């Protein structure tokens, strides 16, 4: 807290207590004057001067004075008790935010930065400091529909009131298309946050399979685990521009077989060099998401990232997962499944391929039975979670 905020808070506290005493004194004087005027009128009536009407006693002036001082006292009390912070709303209520920045990540994907349009805001302070993966709903006002987007973890120098989201402009996407058409300064209604998943205590190892913008929850996991657990992120993207500047931490054989984000399986198994695919330029400046992944990792060897790109013929394969599971076989014998997690996040087809579809039960989306490619692997007790 800087000196200006401290001084403002102290001044507000003094004004509040001063106005509180002054208001109390004025009310007492007002009541006293009313009693005196009443007694004076009664005395004059007894003396036969009832024909002469009493002059106004300045009651309106006193009322306006009381209201003005009460308003000042209320403002001072609000400034003192909220310490200049926004008033939070219930998770079920929509609140207006303003679009202050839109940073292009690729030709179809951008990072949206929003801040409260007024004094009301979503309470995310506790979310950032907890072990929860959280999302926020965006309203499309013309169609009266909403879509959830995962919060990105705050940057080191980020305004604490701002919220950041990675949003892709989907083909025929009613909400994403609407958001990408908005100019800077536009007002957007948000609701939340919603807790999508809470990391259990005692997590030791995490394998994260991410497709496209499904990398957003992975950034939250990285920010919350820090050096407390080993994490290996396998991130699949359609085009290199989506992960521009990303360099894999492990040497993997470049083969054109596996799940493709476009929705098809490539069984050919040809090395990328045979396909005429040129290696990415390692000196390319990383885009904002790749840069944040590097920042979250720091120099820690506990966190690793491997990049897979459809147009380069590289895909996440089941053998990549089994290799990581096998390398982690040195876990303690008493480790539970909660200590070793495989998280899957991305488009519906991506999640379905790897872990099977989620199920709706009683109006709520549940994990459902494990299916897909992971159900065919020997996971050695690792727990799978669909995000």
If DSSP states are collapsed to H, E and C, what string results for the chain?
Answer: CCHHHHHHHHHHHHHHHHHHHHHHHHHHHHHHHHHHHHHHHHHHHHCCCCCCCCCCCCHHHHHHHHHHHHHHHHHHHHHHHHCCCCEECCCCCEEEEEEEEEEECCCCEEEEEEEECCCEECCCHHHHHCCEEEEEEEEECCCCEEEEEEECCCCCCCCCCCEEEEEECCCCCHHHHHHHHCCCCCEEEEEEEEEEEECCCCCCEEEEEEEHHHHHHHHHHHHHHCCCCEEEEEEEECCHHHHCCCCCCCCCCCECCEECCCCCEECCCCEHHHHCCCCCCCCCCCCHHHHHHHHHHCCCCCEEEEEEEHHHCCCCCHHHHHHHHHHCCCCCCCCCHHHEEEEEECCHHHHHHHHCCCEEECCEEECCCCCCHHHHCCCCCCEEEEC
Are 76 and 154 in a shared domain?
no
Domain boundary among 197, 231, 252: 197
Are 191 and 209 in a shared domain?
no
In this model, does residue 77 exceed pLDDT 80?
Answer: no
Are 212 and 344 in a shared domain?
yes
Are 180 and 211 in a shared domain?
no
Are 163 and 293 in a shared domain?
no
Measured distance CA(97)–CA(341) in Å, rounded: 35
Report the pLDDT value the prediction gives residue 302, as an integer from 0 to 100: 84
Report the pLDDT value the prediction gives residue 213, as an integer from 0 to 100: 96
Q: Per the structure, how many domains does the chain have?
A: 3
Is residue 45 situated within a structural domain?
no
Is residue 317 situated within a structural domain?
yes
Is residue 47 situated within a structural domain?
no
Report the pLDDT value the prediction gives residue 163, as an integer from 0 to 100: 96
Residue 174 CA from chain centroid, whole number: 21
Cβ neighbourhood burial of 249 (10 Å; 0-12, 13-18, 19+):
middle
Is residue 48 situated within a structural domain?
no
Report the pLDDT value the prediction gives residue 126, as an integer from 0 to 100: 73
Lowest-pLDDT range, 13-17, 80-84, 128-132, 274-278? 274-278
Q: Read off the pLDDT of residues 216-267 as tens digits, 9 standing for 90 and up.
A: 999 999 999 877 889 999 999 999 999 999 999 886 544 444 555 544 444 3
Which of the four pLDDT bands, split at 50, 70 and 90, describes residue 301?
A: confident
Cβ neighbourhood burial of 4 (10 Å; 0-12, 13-18, 19+):
exposed
83, 72, 190, 200: which is closest to 133 by C-alpha? 200
In this model, does residue 343 exceed pLDDT 90?
Answer: yes
Lowest-pLDDT range, 33-47, 171-185, 265-279? 265-279
Report the pLDDT value the prediction gives residue 153, as an integer from 0 to 100: 94
Measured distance CA(50)–CA(328) in Å, rounded: 101
CATH number, domain containing residue 189: 2.40.30.10
Are 219 and 368 in a shared domain?
yes
Are 193 and 272 in a shared domain?
no
Report the pLDDT value the prediction gives residue 131, as an integer from 0 to 100: 86
* Residue entry with tokens 């001044």: 11
Are 17 and 108 in a shared domain?
no
Are 71 and 142 in a shared domain?
no
Are 359 and 211 in a shared domain?
yes
231, 274, 281: which is closest to 253 by C-alpha? 274
Are 182 and 92 in a shared domain?
yes
pLDDT: which is higher, 108 or 58:
108
Report the pLDDT value the prediction gives residue 220, as an integer from 0 to 100: 93
Q: Read off the pLDDT of residues 135-171 as tens digits, 9 standing for 90 and up.
A: 999 999 999 999 999 999 999 889 989 999 999 999 8
Report the pLDDT value the prediction gives residue 67, as an integer from 0 to 100: 46
Is residue 262 situated within a structural domain?
yes
Are 252 and 240 in a shared domain?
yes
In this model, does residue 1 exceed pLDDT 60?
Answer: no
CATH number, domain containing residue 257: 3.40.50
Measured distance CA(80)–CA(74) in Å, rounded: 10
Q: Read off the pLDDT of residues 367-377 as tens digits, 9 standing for 90 and up.
A: 999 999 999 99
* Mean predicted confidence (pLDDT) in 54-73: 48
Report the pLDDT value the prediction gives residue 332, as an integer from 0 to 100: 54
Residue 54 CA from chain centroid, whole number: 65
Lowest-pLDDT range, 18-22, 125-129, 190-194? 18-22
Report the pLDDT value the prediction gives residue 29, as an integer from 0 to 100: 43
For 244, the domain range is 205-386
Which of the four pLDDT bands, split at 50, 70 and 90, describes residue 338?
A: low
């Amino acid at each position: 807290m800087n000196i200006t905020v401290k001084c403002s808070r102290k001044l507000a506290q003094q004004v509040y207590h001063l106005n509180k005493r002054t208001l109390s004194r004025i009310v007492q004087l007002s009541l006293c004057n009313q009693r005196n005027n009443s007694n004076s009128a009664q005395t004059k009536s007894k003396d036969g001067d009832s024909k002469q009407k009493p002059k106004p006693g300045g009651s309106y002036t006193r009322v306006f004075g009381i209201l003005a001082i009460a308003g000042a006292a209320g403002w001072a009390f609000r400034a003192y008790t909220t310490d200049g912070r926004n008033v939070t709303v219930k998770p079920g209520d929509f609140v207006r935010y303003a679009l202050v920045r839109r940073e292009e990540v690729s030709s179809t994907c951008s990072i949206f930065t929003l801040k409260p349009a007024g004094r009301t805001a979503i309470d995310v302070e506790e979310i950032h400091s907890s072990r929860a993966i959280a999302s926020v709903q965006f309203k499309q006002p013309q169609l009266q529909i909403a879509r959830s987007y995962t919060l990105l973890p705050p940057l080191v120098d980020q305004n604490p009131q701002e919220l950041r989201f990675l949003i892709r402009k989907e083909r025929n996407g009613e909400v994403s298309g609407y958001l990408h058409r908005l100019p800077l300064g536009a007002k957007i209604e948000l609701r939340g946050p919603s807790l999508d998943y809470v990391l259990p205590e005692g997590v030791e190892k995490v394998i994260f399979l991410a497709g496209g913008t499904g990398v957003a929850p992975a950034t939250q996991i990285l920010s919350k685990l820090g050096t407390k657990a080993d994490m290996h992120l396998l991130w699949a993207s359609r085009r290199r521009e989506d992960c521009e500047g990303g360099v894999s931490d492990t040497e993997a054989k470049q083969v054109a077989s596996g799940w493709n984000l476009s929705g098809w399986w490539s069984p050919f198994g040809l090395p990328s060099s045979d396909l005429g695919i040129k290696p990415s330029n390692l000196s390319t400046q990383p885009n904002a998401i790749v840069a944040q992944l590097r920042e979250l990792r720091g120099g820690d060897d506990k966190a690793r990232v491997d990049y897979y790109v459809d147009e380069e013929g590289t895909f996440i394969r089941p053998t990549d997962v089994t290799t990581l599971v096998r390398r982690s076989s040195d876990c303690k014998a008493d480790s539970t499944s909660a200590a070793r997690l495989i998280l899957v996040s991305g488009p519906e087809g991506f999640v379905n391929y790897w872990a099977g579809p989620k199920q709706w039960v009683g109006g709520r989306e549940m994990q459902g039975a494990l299916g897909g490619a992971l159900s065919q692997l020997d996971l050695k007790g690792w727990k799978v979670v669909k995000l």
